Amino acid sequence: MNDVKVIEIKKSVFEDNDREADILRDELKRKGIYLLNLMSAPGSGKTTTLIQTINRLKDKIRIAVMEADIDSDVDAVKIQSATGVSSIQLHTGGMCHLDAGMTRQGIDAVVGKFDLIILENVGNLVCPAEFDTGAVRNAMILSVPEGDDKPLKYPLMFSVCDVVVINKIDVLPYFDFDLEKCKEYIRMRNPKAIVLPVCAKTGEGIDAFADWLLAEVRTWQNK
């Protein structure tokens, strides 16, 4: 059976999201939980990237996934059946992003002890960038078919992300996507961003992302 828990997220009641995010981060720190906020446009390959990454890490650390979606539960089912890790679906009821209060509702519904909880945010390059979820780090996926100019058009998203995974590099020959130009645009928005080209379908490049994430979790727990 692939039944997953589905949580209907309610609108947050908090006025000061930044403060709520800091409180949540402090709580997670005390519990030794690293929260990663993964963002992207629709269809960039978040779920496939997560499956590849989790399968490389699940024997080393305890992982749970929260899949935010407006309505369906296809992603949570896919993650759970492909990796075996605990996965819950957060229904945002039409809301286009998650803030710290909404993220907390998801975390409260995750049952068990975990080192890493990954939040797959709503597929959207605009609104999710504006809200601190309480995560330790923000990462995003940009896929080759979306075009190398996206850092010019969605500046805030690229500014708030510590890691930019460039997915679907297997189709580079079929698209006008200049990887060097894209890296340059990303650096304009965020000079410190780590850029990792991958192909989630074949697994190429995923080791680098998994290694970065494992080192992050270990540092967070020992700091």
Q: Which residues bind a copy of itself (CB under 8 A)?
A: 41-43, 69-72, 74-75, 94, 96, 122-127, 130, 143-147, 149-150, 152-156, 168, 170-171, 174-175
DSSP 43: T
Strands of the sheet containing 194-197, edge to edge, are 5-8, 86-91, 63-69, 116-120, 34-40, 137-143, 163-167, 194-197
In this complex, which beta carbon is closest to a copy of itself, that of residue 36 or of residue 140? Answer: 140
In this complex, which beta carbon is closest to a copy of itself, that of residue 157 or of residue 193? Answer: 157
Can you give the length of the chain in residues? 223
Report in angstroms how near the CB of residue 159 gets to a copy of itself at its nearest: 11
In this complex, which beta carbon is closest to a copy of itself, that of residue 152 or of residue 215? Answer: 152
Q: Where do the H-state alpha helices sit in 118-205?
A: 150-153, 155-160, 179-189
Q: Which amino acid is at 119?
A: L
Q: Yes or no: say if 76 and 7 are a contact pair by the CB < 8 Å rule.
A: no
Report in angstroms how near the CB of residue 201 gets to a copy of itself at its nearest: 9
In this complex, which beta carbon is closest to a copy of itself, that of residue 147 or of residue 203? Answer: 147
Report in angstroms how near the CB of residue 78 gets to a copy of itself at its nearest: 10
Report in angstroms how near the CB of residue 54 gets to a copy of itself at its nearest: 20
Beta bridge partners of 57: none
